[in-house]
Structure 1
Amino acid sequence: MPGLFDPITLRSTPIRNRLWVAPMCQYSCLDRDGVPTDWHLVHLGALARGGAGLVIAEATAVVPEGRISPEDTGIWSDEQEAAWARIAEFIRGQGAVAGIQLAHAGRKASTFSPWGDARHGSVPSDEGGWPTVAPSAVAFEGYAVPRALDADELPGLVRAFADAAVRAVRAGFGLVEIHAAHGYLLHQFLSPLSNHRTDAYGGPLENRARLLLEIVRAVRAAVGEELPVLVRFSATDWADDGWDPEQTATVAAWARDAGADLFDISSGGLVAHQAIRLGPGYQVPFAEHIGDGAEVPVSAVGLITTPAQADAVVREGRADAVMLGRELLRDPHFPLRAAHELGVDLDYWPPQYLRAKPRP
């Protein structure tokens, strides 16, 4: 089996290793215009410099009302596209693949960011908030009740994802990820706990998955045949009668046939009453189940904190790659350190840092 620092190729894109940066929201567009800033350049650039193989930028809204908070990034305008191009160029210059996560928050949009304001829940309209939308008029606990989307609005959403993917390619990203996890809009359509529709987008699994599959097909057509397309799933709602690994595996296979290449497996986020059972690598079994059950490539994420642990996930065939989040915030150079601890001599240390490279 390959190890953590063996390369992998998705479509025609080689990635130098299997230790990747998970999308992590920064809530740092303080002008509330969705334009990434120097913070995003330094944050993502440091992770690329630190040796990761793939750096995926945070959940980036395809339309203004799709932002989680007013301070979120977007990719619906020329100004945003130009700002992202500068960041993608730096990531590529460090030898990493630059990716971006395309997102719509649905009923979890227009919320206060988790830092800078002690309040929680929905931002009032007189403070820059906006009405939210969802598959059904069912609120996330403590948030405003969303408006149920009409069926004739859904083709516009599909186009928004496709248009955002085109902008991502023009900006220099080598990979796009469709966000269908963590209780945001596409996850809301997938789960019976949030989707109470009775039309072609509700009820049976194939109906609840319809919007996601339409978006996968549209994004694939928009980016062409060479660029990898990922999908992030929450494998389970951690709640009775909700979304579960078996449904995830089924839809992952459908999404593979629609043009997706790899599935980034996380969990939770749909309902406040979720009962998550935390522990080291607690989501790795979900990735393994979905990879085996759907016969699709997967990445694993969730409380993976040591080089040996990350390497074992890949070497044991439990996932094709590992994504790290908080551990990389603590140590942006984790990949360089991990290689040394695992006895791997990397040839992509930044030359400016070679004097600090540990010797065998």
Structure 2
Amino acid sequence: MFEPFGDFLQGKLLSAGSIRLNESREETTGCGVGSCRPKWIQRWATPNMFVFVFGLIGILQGASYRYMVASVTTLEKRYAFGSLVSGFILIGDNISELTFQPIFGYLAHRVHRPRLIAWCQIVVGIGCYLAALPYFIYGPGVHLLGSTVSKNKTIDFCDINKFGDRDCGKDSGSSMAMVSVFCLFMSMFLNGFGSSAYYSIGQGMATEGYCKTDCGNNFETYVTLFGISNLVGTLAKAANAIILFRIVDKIDKSFALGVSGSFHSIFAFIPYPLVYGLVADASCKLWESKCGKRGNCWVYDTDKFRIYMHGLTIILYLCSTMFDVFVIFMYKRIKNLYDDEDEDRADMDDKVVDIDCE
């Protein structure tokens, strides 16, 4: 006689559970921040809009990184620091990737991923303001206007409105460089923090630069060889990624990617700007002298720079090739973690049984 009441109570519980499920689903996929979730904005909560915004974020973040890479030589002249300091600035994003990639790899399946990416891109925006901050503090570099450099001659530069030797000796230029380097380094560090969450690294590019008028054909040959080498290197990257996925359990794939990115930062992305910065300094012919201290390089020995840079690159490629050969000889030790062969054999047995039954 209590069955109707039981059915009524069960229906109430089911409806309450469905309400909670809908609320949690709206919390996960709805547009808005916190309790601010207006209904008119929910029409944009679609996969297509997410893909569009996600791609736009990647373009803007890559543009901020490329701006720093493209303007680093101008920053050297503006704030009077050498190529080694430029390398220190450029490794800021690699240091943050080394620190945060394992963390984001661990949190990949434990937090709201789009929301985490969004907060990290806000941090990237703060880094962009830090990159522009030295320009607002020190203003334009008027001390470089109208200055010419003759052959084998150094010029002593001082800050704006300081023309005497007494004012020049107060290390005002060094303090300006320290503040500027700190802001630029933190900008790159925060950019790497966002790229660790977004997991998007831009590719390098080559430009003609300053050369003779007949260098066009050589430049085209260089770009062609550069593209072929990148194509071959990409094939190796794909194979290494497949091996990385096959040697760990399925649940550890995200964590393995984070650890792999950390090792890449330790042995590749962090050292290479410093090493190639030293290579650039070693090929310098004319240094700026500011207040008795060496500043940035004005003239490079292009032949020496070409030999040093490409020679070091060839040596590093040979070392990486040796490790790939070592992996080829050790591939038999990779275990079959996913039982692919057993599953294929079971499928074949089922097919044979079906044929016999017919």
Structure richer in helix, relative to its length: 2
Q: Check whether TM > 0.5.
A: no
TM-score computed with the length of structure 2 as normaliser: 0.22
Normalised by the size of structure 1, how large is the TM-score?
0.22
Which has a greater percent of strand? 1
